[in-house]
Each structure stands twice: as C-alpha cells, then as structure tokens.
C-alpha cells in the first residue's frame, strides 16, 4: 500500500501504467480521428484544386486532453485509492474472531456500534480473512453463547445488520468458553472485541485469554462514551410519579434529558417532562406531577434517549386489577331468583372478571377495588366501620337504595343527605306516572353513555336539595331528581344509586346503561396496583434490547415466571409482560438489574481503538463514475467530429449528457409526478411471475377504481422498499413468495416509517387453500415467508377484521373479503393510530387478491376464482375498492354507524 | 397491392404537394405583379380592322361586314401562342441540401419551374418539357402532365431536336460540369433562334464551402470516382471560391453573348424573390 497524503492506493503497481500516458498522448496525437465523409455536388471544382494542403492532421488538443484524462482517471480508479485508510489488521491466520457485546448495556450506543463494525469489514476484506462472530449475550434460542461463521466480508455485513442487543446481560465467562471452541477449530489469527464498555466478573479473564490465545486482541471500547441508563419507578403517589434514573458515567456537564409517558391503550404519547441530570451525579429522581386521569392511562414511561430496555418502565396500569366485591350473605350468594339484587349485579359484572362475594369485613380486608353494597345486604355496625375505613383508604363504594336504606336515611356512608321516606310514583295512592331517565350531566363520569328511553323508575330515594347535591348528581330522572349521586370521601369514593339493584323499584337493572354505568364506575376506581399473582405466569410480551415488546418467537426459549421466585432477566425470562389475557404482571429490566461497572483496566498489550469512525472511504467508485462520464463525452465528440450527428442532434446529445450529469433534477421531476397523483403500488418480490400477476392485478383494480369511484388513479408502480421512497403510495400490495430475501435494515426502516406515517401494507400470503388452522407447526408457506420478512418490522397487535370494520363499509357493504380464494380471515391492526384517522397500517390475508383482480386473459385462465366463480371475482374488486377507499378517506365512513340515530333524531 | 397501384397511390399522395406549392408561389407572385396587361387568351377577340387586299378571305368576319357594309377582319390577340420549353437537371448532384432548413436543390428548381409554367399557361403560352416526348400543350392540364413527366425527363443533351425554333427555353440546373459538356448544346439552340435562360440553382454551402478540418469529399454524380481527401478545408476555401466564381462567370459571359440570360439562385432565396428575379430576367430579354 502506498500512502499519498490522506489517500492510499491498495494496488499501487497499477499506477505504473501512468508512465505509458505520454506514449498514449503521442499516439493519439498522430492518429487523428477518422475524417467525416461528405458527398458534395460541386465535386468537379474541388477535384481540380491545385493547392491541396498537405499539413498532417492532428487530433484537436482538447480531444487529446479529454482522452488522456480519461485514461489517467481509469488508472487511478483501478489502483483502488482509499481515503483516510485504517491500519491493516494485525496478526495472521485466515480467520478473525469478532466478539460483540450485545447484553442490555450495548443498546445505549448500538447504532454507532453497528457502524463501527461495518467500517471494520473492509480491513478484514483487505487482509483476505473471514470472520467468526461470537456474541456475548446468551442466545434467545438456547440460552448459550453463539458463534457464527466463518463468513466472508460480504456475508459478515449481513450478519452485522441482523445483530441486535438483548434485554439481558452478557455472560463473559461463557463467552470465553465459546471463544476457546473457535480457537480450537484453528485458523484464528487475531481477535477483535467490540466491547460495550462494561465489566463483569469474567471480563478480565476473557480479555486476557483472548489476547493470549486469540493471536492478539484489538479492543474497540466505548467506556468513555457508552452510558447505559436505568429507569425505575420509585413512587406513584396521587399527584404523579417519582422516577429514578441511574447512569454509569459521571459526567462533567449537566445533561438535559426527557421522560415520555405513553398511553397503555393506544401507545401514543401522553405527556413529556424535561429534566436536568446534574453533572457529577450518577442518579437523579424526577418528580413528575400528573393528573390522576392521565396517570391512570400511562402504560409505559421511558427516556427519550437512550432507547434501551433498561430505560423503560411498564406500569402495569393497563392491566391494573380492579377486583369487585359484593356485600352478600351466604343465602343471597346462591339465590338465583329474579328478585335477588345480587343476581342482577353478578350478571352485570360477569364480563369484567371475577366477582367476590363476602361479608363487608372480609371484603374490606382483602384487596378490593370496588365494593358494591346492595340494599338487601345485612351490614353490621362493625362491617360499616370496616367499609368506612376502606373507603378512607381509597376504596370505591357503590350503594343501592331500597327499603332498608329508606328506613335509615341518616346512614353514614352516603354521598348526599337523603330525605326521609321514599318517593313512590306509581301506586294506589299516587297519580304520578313512573318517571323516565333524564339526561346525564356533563361532569358526570357517565357522560357519553346513551340513555335508554324505555327505563322507568317507580320508586326512589330523594336527596335533600342542596347546591352540592346537583354537582354530585351523575344521572338524573326526567324531572331532575337524582338517580345516581357520587362524591369523593377522603381518598375514596361513595356512590349511591337511588333505586334498587334489582327490579323492585325500577327496571333500570334490565337496561344496558346499568351494565355500562357499573363498568364506568369500576374503571373510575383506583384499582389494585400490586396485583399478587398466584401460580406461574406465562410470557405474553417480551422485550428486546431496545425495549420493544413483541410476542415471543417460535424458537425462543421463553418460559413461564414463578412470581414467588426472584426474577432474573435472561433468555428464559426476558423482561416483559407475563400472565394471561386477564392478569398481567410487568417485569421491568430496571427493577431487576444494577448499573454495570465500567471497563477500565485493559491489559497493556491489547490494541485499543475507539468507536469513532475513521472516515475511511474508497474512492474507486467516484473515479469510475467520472471515467464513464468522460467516455460518454468522448463518444459524443467523436460522433460529432465524424459528422454522424447533425446540429439539432448535437443539441439533443448535449442535453442527454446534461441529464446524465444531473440526475437529481430528473428524480425531483419524478417525485413531483408521483406526488401529484395516486399510484397503485406493489412490492417487487423478485419472482417474475408473481410480479407480473401483481402488476396485472393492480392494473385491473385501477380500471375498476376509475370506472366506479372518483379515485383518479394515474398508474401502477413496482416498488422496492430498500430503494424507493414509499410515502407517495397510499397502499402497498405485498405478495409473499418463497424467493424473497430478508429485509435489509434500510428496507425495514423505510417500511416502518411508511407504516408510522400512515401507510397501509396489504400482506398477501396467497395460500388460503393450504391453510387449515392457526396451528404454528403447520404454518403455510406464505405465512412462514410473512414471518420471516416481517421479523425486522414492528407489526402492531392484530385482530380479525369483523363485520362492522371500516373495511367492510368504506364503499361497498361487504361481509367477506375474498380474492382468488375465500373463507380465510383478514387481520388488521387492533388499535390503529387515531392520528391516522383510525386506518390500520397493516392488513394480512391469504386470498391472493392480485390474481383475482387481474383482467389479463392469461391470468384469468390461470387463476380460477374458487369457489365462488365470477361473483367472487366481483367481490374481490369490491374489496379492492373498499381497501383504497379506506386508505384514502380514513374512518369517515365509520361515522355512518351513527346515521340511524341521526335520522331518528331528525324525525323528531 | 400491385406495384403499379402502390406507385399510383404514392403519386396521388405526392401530386398536390409540389404542384400546390408551385401554385402558391405562382399566385402570390401574380398578386404582387402588375406588369401583365393582356386582354385574354389567344382565342379572344382583340379588334376589327378593315380588310386589306391580298389578305386571306378566311379572315373576314362576315357578321361585322354585314353590319358595317364594308369588309372587316376580326383580329385576335396572341394569335400565335409561343412555346415555353422547361427543363430541370435530373442529375444526382441536384439531390443536395446542406442543412435541414434548406430545400433540396431539385425540389427548389421544380417548384420554380412549375410556377413559371403555370404563369405561362395563364398567359396563353404552350408548355413543353425538354427531354420527354410530350408535345407542347396550352390547356390547364398541361402542368399536371409536365409534373407527371418529370421523373421520365432525360438529360438535356440527348433530346434537343424537339425544341422548336423561335421558342423560349428556361433551363434549371446546377451546371457543375465542365462548360464544354453543355454549352455547345445551348449554343446550337441559340443558333436556331431559341431564346433561352439558364437558371443556376445552388446551395449556399456549395458557394462558401463552410466545412473545417479533415473532410473526405465524394462525387455525387459518379460514385465510383475516387474521393478527394482535403486535410484542412479552411486552407483551400479561398482557392475554391475563386474557381467557383470563375466557373459561373464563364457560363454567364458565354450565354449572354448569344443574347441569352443567366441567373444564379441560392436555395436560401425565398420563392417569391426568386420568381421576381426570374421574371425581371425574362422581361429584360
């Protein structure tokens, strides 16, 4: 290698060819370009000219210069110049062992790590060696340290793309064992350790062994820059959270940081708080005041940077348990009579989980979020006291009125003062008609529920009409008297329903509002934060190194957690959510780990490098581009000199040359074109047959859309997510083929951005005919490809598209979404982002839609629509129309569910 | 489709093109031209004059004689219509145009020739095409016959006997040949009292030789002739221009000596201007 300033030539001997340039110059000079040939009418005059000039024709100097330059540039390009070249890889042998730290602290700086690893590869390539990767975190598949390779530099780049930090710590002692296995295979000439800058008991011996046995060690350490953070929730009081953040580095400057709270329901951002991590501190507490309403919705608290599993806290709140107790004696518990209040309450609460029935003392003693006290229940003074204490401690008490309460209106646990006696509206002694339910005040927690019109109340208890009693009214009758009143009572809440829980005094208990109101009240309760699970909890969602939750993979060895034992983050039990559909427990990495120690003492003989990129850049490609341009120019000039292109052609050629030189302008034009209209797009699979079918299918759909809707489709485009900008297309149709490669990280990012920005991807596994069940073991080929391809994507939680989904009514009213096949389920995002108008970002199905949409005769003959024939094809088109309508108009059609109500109101 | 059929349809497609262009040139020229004050065609009445003894009795207009009681002769204008012979050089060297903006010389010559023919027909003259067996005709269809006859036109020298004495001849060509190859023929015509005019149609590039550098020139007439390689065209340009001018001057001087006229027209010249020049030249004779 020959250094020349900052540029080094990898094949310097080629530069020797430069000495031949003067010879070339001379040759070019004496060998002029071929003359142009002219047929000339006045030839006879020319023929007889005496003084034919015999000067030797030379190549014009500028052409000479152009050609010489071209040759020089080519020679330089082939000499492979590299700017700011890194030093050669030390050691010998034909294998380089690359040890990569990918325990949880590595996530803090992961991108820099990957970039540095990629930059390292040309050095491996130049030394002609191959790479064996050993990752220090136990594998999620078998909890052991994995070795990969040997692979060449090209495959190593792919391997680096796929490397990711895990949500559990690295195991350097076990890594040493694996490294020794690799050494035993022989050929290892040098070892490179991409460290995350942390130390554990086995680290020192690992470094020492790598240095001694691995043919010398280069350590790429970022102990100076890597700064893993740990976030723990220290307190969740009534007025907000206290978040403790710990870090590894002692910094000399204050650092501005940000905490973000995400909603448990939608995943959207609820609140942010900025704080200052003071210089010199390794931990800080952030007090984060938050309204109780908002607080109840928080599902996740995380640092905005660094993004890592340890800097994240799942709050359990989405899965906060709200056990309900009903005060009932043994007899009422078993009684199934239709007059029993407890029966109605139990029926109403059936869907909400388990309901406990016991004496008030027992209920108050156990963890209950809500206690319902029907009028018929016998509550002793001791029981009342226990309940009062429980309410003071934050309980939510719901009482129902009835004959007993009517006799004791000065009971203590009431939200309002009651008047003596009951109001009877329909009886022998009264001419008043039973009263219907009235409106729900805006301040009421029930606001928004629909009030049934046919519910009447015949008897109720009346509140003393004080100003407060109006504020406390949550639901009133048509005459303005309260039906449900509620008020805060110390930390807790007391609610009174002024009629019975059963049908004695009203038919409220038959209405849907009864159930909804109970659910609202239960949701209003504080709930029990620290749910004590019994028995083992199976994994539901587990974290990766960046804290992203996902369903455990097929091959992962994730196993259930026993809450009685200490939780240890490991491949078997990664942090995440454990439990079943009703009861979840969050295990946060931060709660079960400590700030790691810094890696400080590195053996003296180890070569130390940093994660800063050296800026090494090969100049071969740019030089080649210049050479090609020069060659093009030379060709044009030669043609012109020989008269093969005339004047206007020449102008066109110059124009063409300009276009070659200035492609961005053209790209901008294309972007403008794409942005100016709607294009139907499909993802190129590389399988020609599938791509043609996709194209034909979308072209057929284009015709349909133009004919039936106002969607003005401009055309059909094939896109490659690794290369193309996707944001122009409302929908991407993506058929699954076996041939497709895994997504590159760039493609994955591009697709992720597309979905995030409101795009819709229709994944078509095209294999409905093979699918039998959702059994994993018998996954269809298309499904397997889908899983493989979407591994790099964060696919949101899915649900089956049911009747009533926007997709079924955005244009046509559909009850199924057939393509070439029918009968399978179509899956959509469970809780689409409201910012995108509730449009799902993914649709997954296996109906091979493009084959049904195609109007191409050949496709029609090949792809018979089964089993429904042409009728089904029509339905497939309707699905396509609905799909695009949904993607383009969002949920506005879903408003139509209100149309019957609006019409009814207008009739009045 | 048979060959004849395809050819005729092709001709039918072409026919109006050139003719219409010529007609447009002729008409726009007429609009701007006031020099022609004629009473009509040769059949038209011009005047009555008293019968002179010795004249043919056939000339007496009996009706007029009966009216006036004295013998009168009906005199017609242009009684003896002249014949205009047209010719354009059919050789390969006429198929040249140095630029897309300029017409091919042959086309330019044909448009001018046909326009001239139309004007002559308007003036009651007979039209004949040199080099074909077509007899001179004076009716309106003559121009189309001439047009149709153009492809069959042979070289000038081969068929000069047809040209009648005391007629007019307008010869279009580029005259890029040694003068002795065509001037003697013209001289023979001049001796037979044919009044002639030579119109040299040339491309501007032929006069200025605007090429540069190494150029290999090939003969258009005789493709077998060895090409001439000029190493630096710019170096011979002056000498070429001199020779070119001398050639033209020689032709002009010779034909004017017989009382003929000579006109050099560049294809750059607009048709209207060219027609004006042509007419001036003919009138001046």
For A411, the token pair is 């009971």
Q: Would you say residue B55 has pLDDT above 80?
A: no
Please tell me which of the candidates B214, B236, B247 has its beta carbon nearest to residue A35: B214
b/e code A186-210 from CB counts within 10 Å (16+ = b): ebbbbbbbbbbbbbbebbeebbebb
> Residues A555, A558, A560, A564: what is their CA dihedral angle, to the nearest 10 degrees?
170
Give me the residue from B176, B220, B239 closest to A39, CB to CB. Answer: B220
Question: Is B216 a residue whose pLDDT tops 90?
Answer: no
Residues of chain B positioned with their CB less than 8 A from the CB of A48: 243
Residues 6+ apart with CB under 8 A from A777: none
The answer to ipTM > 0.85 is no
Please list every residue in chain A whose beta carbon sits closer than 8 Å to the beta carbon of residue B176: 41-45
Instruction: Enumerate the residues of chain A whose CB falls inside 8 A of the CB of residue B177.
Output: 44
Q: How far apart are the first and last CA of chain A?
A: 91
Q: Give the residue extent of every domain in chain A.
A: 2-35+57-84+621-661, 95-226+596-615, 229-319, 324-524, 539-592, 668-897
- Asked whether A839 and A832 are in contact (CB, 8 A), the reply is yes
| pLDDT, position B203 | 92
Residue B83: its H or E element? strand B83-88
Tally the C-alpha atoms within 13 A of residue A161's C-alpha that lie toward its C-beta.
Answer: 16
pLDDT at B11: 39
Chain centroid to Cα A699, Å, comes to 31
> Quick check: A42 and B237 in contact, CB under 8 A?
no
Which of B211, B215, B244 comes nearest A45 by C-beta? B244
Per DSSP, helices labelled H in A504-593 are 512-524
Angle of the A110-127 helix axis to the A153-162 helix axis, nearest 10: 170
Q: In what order do the strands lie in the sheet with A576-579?
A: A549-550, A539-543, A576-579, A584-587
Confidence of residue A855 (pLDDT cuts 50, 70, 90): confident
pLDDT, averaged across chain A? 80
A783 has pLDDT over 90: no
Q: Which residues of B touch A41 (CB under 8 A)?
A: 93-94, 96, 105, 174, 176, 203, 206, 220
* Residue numbers in A near B181 (CB within 8 A): none
Least Cα separation, residue A50 to chain B (angstroms): 9
The verdict on a CB contact (< 8 Å) between B218 and A42 is: no
Give the separation between CA A292 and CA A240, rounded to whole angstroms.
7
Compute the nearest-CA separation of B240 from chain A (Å).
7
Chosen for mutation from B97, B177, B213 (greatest number of chain A CBs closer than 10 Å) is B213
User: Is the pLDDT at A867 greater than 60, yes or no?
Assistant: yes
The fold of the A324-524 domain, in CATH, is: Rossmann fold (3.40.50)
Distance CA A229, CA A304 (A): 11
Fold that domain A229-319 belongs to in CATH = Immunoglobulin-like (2.60.40)
Q: Cis before residue A471, ω within 30 degrees of 0? A: no
Strand pairing partners for A485? Answer: A473, A496
Q: Are A315 and A292 in contact (CB under 8 A)?
A: no
pTM above 0.80, yes or no: no
Asked whether A120 and A192 are in contact (CB, 8 A), the reply is yes
CA distance A645 to chain B (A): 12
What is A668-897's CATH superfamily? Answer: Domain of unknown function DUF4159 (3.40.50.12140)
Which residue in B217, B236, B247 is closest to A38 by CB distance?
B217
What are the helix (H) ranges across A82-229?
A: 110-127, 153-162, 172-185, 203-213
Mutate to test the interface with B, among A31, A45, A57, A642 (most CBs of B within 10 A): A45
- Tokens standing for A689? 């047959």
Please enumerate residues of A whose Cβ is less than 8 A from a Cβ of B.
32, 35-57, 641, 646-648
Are B231 and A45 a contacting pair at CB < 8 A?
no
Task: pLDDT band for A889, please (50, 70, 90 cuts).
Answer: confident
B257 SS3 class: helix
Predicted pLDDT at A774: 44
Nearest to B240 among A39, A45, A57 (CB): A45
Tokens representing residue A904 in the block? 């009814």
Structure tokens at A156: 């190593």
Residue B195 clears pLDDT 80, i.e. is over it: yes
Closest to A721 measured CA to CA, from A780, A666, A672, A792: A792
- The answer to whether the bond into A483 is cis (omega within 30° of 0) is no
Close Cβ partners of A349 (under 8 Å, ≥ 6 residues apart): A324, A355, A518, A522
pLDDT band at A564, cuts 50/70/90? confident
> For residue A693, what pLDDT band results from cuts at 50, 70 and 90?
confident
Residue B9, φ and ψ in degrees, nearest 5: -70, -35
> Distance, in angstroms, between B207 CA and closest chain A CA?
9
The answer to whether the Cβ–Cβ distance between B220 and A41 falls below 8 Å is yes
Yes or no, beta carbons of A49 and B239 under 8 Å apart: yes
Q: Taking the alpha carbons of A648, A651, A657, A659 in that order, is the dihedral positive or negative?
A: negative
What was the pLDDT predicted at B157? 61
Q: Could you read off the pLDDT of A624-669 as tens digits, one per residue?
A: 899 999 999 888 887 777 666 655 555 555 555 555 554 444 456 7
* DSSP assignment letter at A86: P
Q: In chain B, count of helices (H) and strands (E)? A: 8, 9
pLDDT at A21: 83
CA distance B225 to chain A (A): 10
C-alpha–C-alpha distance, residues A680 and A702, integer Å: 7
Binary contact (A45, B214; C-beta < 8 A):
no
Q: Distance of CA B54 to CAs A585, B58, B60, Å?
A: 145, 11, 12
Q: Do B220 and A641 lie within an 8 Å CB cutoff?
A: no
Contact at CB, B219 and A44, closer than 8 angstroms:
yes
- Distance (Å) from the alpha carbon of B90 to chain A's nearest alpha carbon: 13
Q: Distances from the Cα of B172 to the Cαs of A106, A532, B86, B187, in angstroms?
A: 93, 115, 8, 16
Q: How far apart are the C-alpha atoms of A460 and A428, rounded to whole Å? A: 16
CA distances from A482 to A460, A466, A751 (A): 9, 12, 55
Average pLDDT over chain B reads: 77
Nearest to A36 among B215, B221, B236 (CB): B215
Q: List pLDDT tens digits, range A325-369.
A: 888 876 666 666 666 788 888 888 776 556 778 888 888 887 778
Question: Between chain A and chain B, how many beta carbons pairs sit less than 8 Å apart?
Answer: 102
Query: Phi and psi of A408, rounded to 5°?
Result: -130, 65
A635 min Cα distance to partner chain B (Å): 18
Minimal CA separation from A638 to chain B, in Å = 13
Nearest to B173 by CA among B163, B165, B164, B185: B185
Looking at residue A658, its pLDDT comes to 55
A36 neighbourhood in chain B, CB within 8 Å = 211, 213-216
Q: Identify which of A32, A43, A51 has the shortest CB distance to residue B236.
A: A51
Q: Give me the mean pLDDT over the B145-155 stretch.
A: 78
Q: Please tell me if the domain spanning A324-524 has the same topology as the one spanning A668-897.
A: yes
| Token pair for A508 | 């409220």
Q: Which residues contact A436 (CB under 8 A, 6 or more apart)?
A: A453, A454, A455, A456, A457, A477, A478
Mean pLDDT of A832-843: 77
Q: Which residue of B has its CA nearest to A54?
A: B231
| DSSP state at residue A506 | B
DSSP B117-161: HHHHHHTT-EEEETTS-PPPB-STTHHHHHHHHGGG---GGG--T
More confident residue, A908 or A105: A105
Q: What is the pLDDT of residue A18?
A: 84
- Under 8 Å between Cβ of A878 and A812: yes
pLDDT at residue B46 is higher than 70: no
Q: H or E segment at A229? A: strand A229-237
Residue with the larger pLDDT of the pair B153 and A145: A145
The answer, yes or no, to whether residue A319 has pLDDT greater than 60, is no
Q: Domain A95-226+596-615 adopts which CATH fold?
A: Rossmann fold (3.40.50)
What Cα–Cα distance (Å) separates residue A503 from each residue in A372, A423, A455, A510?
17, 16, 11, 8
Strands B215-219 and B228-230, sheet pairing: antiparallel
Question: Which of A31, A33, A40 best probes binding to B when mutated, by most B CB atoms within 10 angstroms?
Answer: A40
Please indicate whether, in this complex, the C-beta atoms of A39 and B94 are within 8 angstroms of each other: no
Give all domains of chain B, ordered by start, each with its CATH number: 16-33+80-284 (3.40.50), 45-76 (no CATH)
Which residue from A35, A43, A49 is facing B215, i.e. has the nearest CB? A35
- Lowest average pLDDT, out of A198-207, A884-893, B78-87, goes to B78-87
């Amino acid at each position: 290698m020959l250094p020349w300033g900052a540029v080094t030539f990898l094949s310097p001997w080629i530069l020797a060819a430069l000495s031949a340039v003067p010879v070339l110059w001379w040759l070019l000079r004496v060998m002029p370009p071929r003359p142009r040939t002219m047929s000339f009418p006045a030839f006879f005059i020319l023929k007889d000219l005496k003084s034919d000039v015999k000067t030797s024709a030379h190549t014009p100097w500028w052409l000479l210069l152009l050609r010489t330059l071209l040759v020089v540039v080519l020679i330089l390009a082939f000499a492979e110049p590299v700017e700011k070249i890194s030093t050669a890889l030390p050691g010998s042998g034909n294998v380089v062992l690359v040890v990569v730290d990918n325990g949880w602290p590595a996530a803090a700086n992961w991108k820099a790590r990957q970039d540095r690893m990629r930059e390292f590869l040309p050095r491996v390539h130049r030394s002609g060696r191959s790479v064996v990767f050993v990752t220090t975190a136990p594998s999620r598949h078998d909890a052991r340290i994995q070795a990969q390779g040997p692979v060449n530099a090209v495959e190593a780049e792919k391997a680096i793309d796929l490397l990711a930090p895990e949500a559990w710590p690295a195991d350097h002692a076990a890594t040493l064992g694996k490294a020794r296995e690799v050494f035993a295979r022989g050929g290892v000439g040098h070892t490179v350790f991409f460290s995350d800058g942390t130390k554990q008991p086995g680290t020192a011996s690992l470094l020492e062994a790598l240095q001694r046995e691995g043919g010398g060690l280069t350590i790429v350490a970022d102990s100076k820059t890597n700064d893993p953070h740990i976030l723990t929730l220290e307190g969740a009081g009534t007025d907000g959270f206290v978040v403790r953040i710990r870090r590894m580095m002692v910094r000399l400057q204050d650092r501005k940081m940000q905490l973000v709270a995400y909603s448990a329901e939608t995943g959207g951002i609820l609140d942010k708080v900025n704080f200052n991590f003071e210089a010199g501190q390794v931990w800080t507490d952030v007090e984060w005041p938050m309204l109780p309403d908002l607080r109840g919705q928080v599902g996740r608290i995380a640092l905005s940077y660094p993004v890592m599993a340890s800097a994240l806290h799942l709050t359990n709140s989405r899965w906060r348990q709200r056990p309900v107790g009903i005060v009932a004696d043994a007899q009422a518990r078993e009684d199934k009579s239709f007059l029993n209040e407890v029966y109605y309450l139990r029926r109403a609460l059936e869907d909400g989980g388990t309901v406990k029935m016991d004496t008030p003392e027992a209920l108050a003693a156990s963890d209950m979020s809500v206690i319902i006290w029907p009028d018929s229940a016998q509550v002793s003074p001791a029981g009342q006291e226990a309940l009062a204490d429980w309410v003071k401690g934050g309980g939510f008490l719901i009482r129902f009125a009835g004959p007993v309460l009517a006799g004791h209106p000065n009971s203590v646990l009431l939200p309002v003062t009651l008047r003596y006696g009951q109001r009877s509206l329909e009886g022998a002694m009264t001419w008043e008609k039973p009263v219907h339910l009235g409106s729900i005040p805006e301040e009421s927690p029930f606001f928004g529920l629909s009030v049934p019109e046919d519910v009447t109340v015949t008897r109720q208890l009346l509140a003393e009409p004080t100003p407060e009693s109006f504020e406390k009214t949550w639901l009133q009758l048509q005459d303005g008297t309260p039906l449900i009143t509620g008020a805060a009572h110390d930390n807790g809440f007391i609610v009174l329903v002024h009629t019975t829980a059963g049908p004695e005094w009203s038919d409220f208990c038959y209405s849907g509002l009864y159930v909804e109101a109970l659910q609202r009240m239960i949701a209003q309760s504080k709930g029990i934060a620290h749910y004590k699970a019994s028995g083992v909890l199976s994994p539901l969602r587990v974290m990766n190194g960046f804290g992203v939750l996902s369903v455990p993979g097929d091959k992962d060895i994730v196993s259930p957690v026993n809450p009685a034992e200490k939780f240890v983050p490991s491949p078997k039990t990664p942090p995440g959510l454990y439990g079943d559909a009703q009861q979840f427990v969050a295990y946060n990495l931060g709660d079960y780990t400590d700030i790691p120690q810094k890696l400080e003492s590195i053996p003296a003989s180890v070569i130390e490098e940093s994660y800063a990129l050296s800026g090494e850049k090969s100049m071969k490609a740019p030089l080649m581009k210049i050479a090609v341009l020069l060659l093009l120019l030379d060709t044009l000039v030669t043609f012109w000199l020989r008269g093969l292109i005339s004047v206007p052609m020449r102008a066109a050629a110059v124009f063409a040359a300009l276009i070659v030189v200035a492609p961005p302008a053209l790209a901008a034009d294309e972007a403008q074109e794409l942005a100016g209209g709607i294009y139907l797009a499909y993802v190129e699979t590389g399988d020609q047959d599938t791509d043609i079918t996709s194209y034909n299918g979308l072209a057929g759909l284009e015709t349909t859309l133009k004919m039936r809707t106002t969607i003005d489709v401009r055309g059909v485009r094939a896109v490659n997510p690794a290369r193309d900008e996707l944001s122009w297309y409302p929908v991407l149709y993506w058929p699954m083929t076996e041939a497709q490669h895994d997504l590159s990280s760039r493609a994955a990012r591009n697709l992720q951005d597309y979905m995030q920005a409101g795009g819709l991807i229709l994944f078509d596994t095209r294999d409905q005919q093979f699918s039998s069940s959702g059994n994993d073991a018998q996954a269809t080929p298309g499904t397997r490809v889908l899983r493989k391809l979407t591994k790099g994507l964060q696919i949101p939680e899915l649900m089956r598209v049911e009747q009533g989904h926007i997709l079924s009514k955005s244009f046509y009213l559909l009850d199924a979404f057939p393509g070439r096949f029918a009968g399978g389920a179509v899956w959509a995002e469970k809780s689409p982002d409201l910012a995108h108008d509730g449009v799902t970002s993914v649709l997954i199905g296996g109906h091979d839609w493009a084959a049904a949409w195609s109007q191409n005769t050949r496709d029609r003959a090949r792809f018979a629509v089964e089993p429904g024939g042409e009728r089904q094809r029509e339905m497939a088109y309707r699905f396509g129309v609905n799909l695009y309508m949904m993607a383009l108009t969002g949920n506005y059609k879903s408003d139509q569910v209100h149309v019957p109500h609006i019409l009814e109101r207008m009739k009045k | 489709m048979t060959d004849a059929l395809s050819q005729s349809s092709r001709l039918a497609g072409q026919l109006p093109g050139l003719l219409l262009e010529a007609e447009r040139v002729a008409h726009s020229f007429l609009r701007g031209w006031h020099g022609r004050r004629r009473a009509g065609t040769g059949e038209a009445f011009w005047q009555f004059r008293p019968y002179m003894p010795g004249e043919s009795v056939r000339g007496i207009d009996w009706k007029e004689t009966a009216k006036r009681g004295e013998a009168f002769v009906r005199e017609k204008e242009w009684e003896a219509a002249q014949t205009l012979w047209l010719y354009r050089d059919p050789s390969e060297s006429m198929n040249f145009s140095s630029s897309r903006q300029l017409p091919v010389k042959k086309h330019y010559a044909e448009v001018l020739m046909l326009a001239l023919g139309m004007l002559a027909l308007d003036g009651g003259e007979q039209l004949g095409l040199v080099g074909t067996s077509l007899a001179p005709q004076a009716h309106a269809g003559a121009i189309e016959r001439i047009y149709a006859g153009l492809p069959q036109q042979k070289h000038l020298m081969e068929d000069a006997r047809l040209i009648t004495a005391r007629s007019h001849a307008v010869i279009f060509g580029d005259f890029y040949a040694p003068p002795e190859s065509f001037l003697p023929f013209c001289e023979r015509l001049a001796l037979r009292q044919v009044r002639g005019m030579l119109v040299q149609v040339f491309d501007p590039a032929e006069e200025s030789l605007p090429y540069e550098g190494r150029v290999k020139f090939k003969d258009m007439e005789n493709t077998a002739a060895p090409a001439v390689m000029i190493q630096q065209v710019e170096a011979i340009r002056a000498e070429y221009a001199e020779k070119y001018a001398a050639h033209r001057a020689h032709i002009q001087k010779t034909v004017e000596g017989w009382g003929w006229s000579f006109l050099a027209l560049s294809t750059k010249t607009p048709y209207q201007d060219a027609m004006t020049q042509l007419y001036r030249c003919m009138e001046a004779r």
